[in-house]
Amino acid sequence: MTDYIVMFSKAFPNDATPITFDNFAKAIEAFEATLITPAAPFDQYLEGDAYALSAQQKAGLKLFIEKGCSSCHNGINVGGQDYFPFGVTERPTASLLPRDDKGRFAVTKVPNDEYVFRSAPLRNVALRPPYFHSGQVWSLKQAVGVMSEIQLGVKLNDREKDDIVAFLNSLTGQLPKIDYPILPARTDTTPKPSIEK
Ligand code: HEC
């Protein structure tokens, strides 16, 4: 697509041959870096707006810290910093374990790494069921219940679960506006897609 040659030359002005696989990756990465979701109520709260969270969300935040959720879900993305076993205090029921995916074990082959996964980042978590690698849990409240029992050995009551869910809802930020990318037009000289053999 000849237009791409123009676009890539503009985007990578110092490259003699701007159309390279590495530059495709860089371009996609630069786009992905814009996919941030700032100004979640929790962010606003951290920045000093005491009213950005409701009383219930504040109660949920307190539980999230005091019960120990934040020991694994912390940092700028409220998780994603490290790997942990899925099932610390209790083995999850079989239906919650992903089929054909033993997590870190696939990489390290160390038996202790069976069902060890990255602690999920919890930003925007309310927007993306189903939960866990198995994708078997559709309700955030149920996911909170599972986590407290298998990761912390704690049985939360109904109100506590609702409070934590309310807090998790405060992690939903402002979604980016994305312009739908229009591909340049094909020309007679545009090669057809090919798969290298
Ligand atoms: C010992 C570390 C640890 C603790 C403590 C912990 N979690 Fe997790 N959490 C994880 C891991 C690891 C996963 C990913 C499991 C998977 O993908 O199968 C996860 C996944 C989740 C998910 C699903 C996110 C998604 O996108 O699928 C939610 C929600 C969650 N945790 C909330 C909590 C809450 C609430 C608490 C406290 C009650 C808690 N976690 C305590 C490690 C932990």
| Ligand 1 proximity of 8 Cβ (cutoff 6 Å) | no
Q: Are 76 and 123 found together in one domain?
A: yes
Q: What is the CATH number of the domain that holds 141?
A: 1.10.760.10
Q: Which residues are CB-neighbours of 54 under 8 A, at least 6 positions away?
A: 166
Q: Are 24 and 116 found together in one domain?
A: no
* Ligand 1 mean position, distance from CA 119 (Å): 6
Q: At what angle do helices 21-32 and 2-11 cross, to 10 degrees?
A: 70
Q: Are 165 and 82 found together in one domain?
A: yes
Query: SS3 for 103?
Result: strand
Residue 192 pLDDT level (bands cut at 50, 70, 90): confident
- Percent of the chain exceeding pLDDT 70 equals 99
Contact 39, 54 (CB under 8 A): no
| Ligand 1 proximity of 119 Cβ (cutoff 6 Å) | yes
Q: Are 14 and 62 found together in one domain?
A: no
In total, how many domains does the chain have? 2
Cis peptide before 193 (omega within 30 of 0): no
Domain assignment present for residue 177? The answer is: no
Closest CA to 103 of 89, 88, 86, 120: 86
Mean local confidence (pLDDT), 112-141: 97
Q: Are strands 116-118 and 83-85 parallel, antiparallel or unpaired?
A: antiparallel
Res. 12: pLDDT tops 70 = yes
Domain assignment present for residue 187? The answer is: no
Q: Are 134 and 110 found together in one domain?
A: yes
Q: Which domain holds residue 148?
A: 41-169
- DSSP secondary structure string, 149-181? HHHH-----HHHHHHHHHHHHTT--PPPP-PPP
| Ligand 1 proximity of 102 Cβ (cutoff 6 Å) | no
Q: Are 143 and 84 found together in one domain?
A: yes
Instruction: Tell which atom from ligand 1 comes closest to the C-alpha of 86.
Output: 12
pLDDT at 182: 86
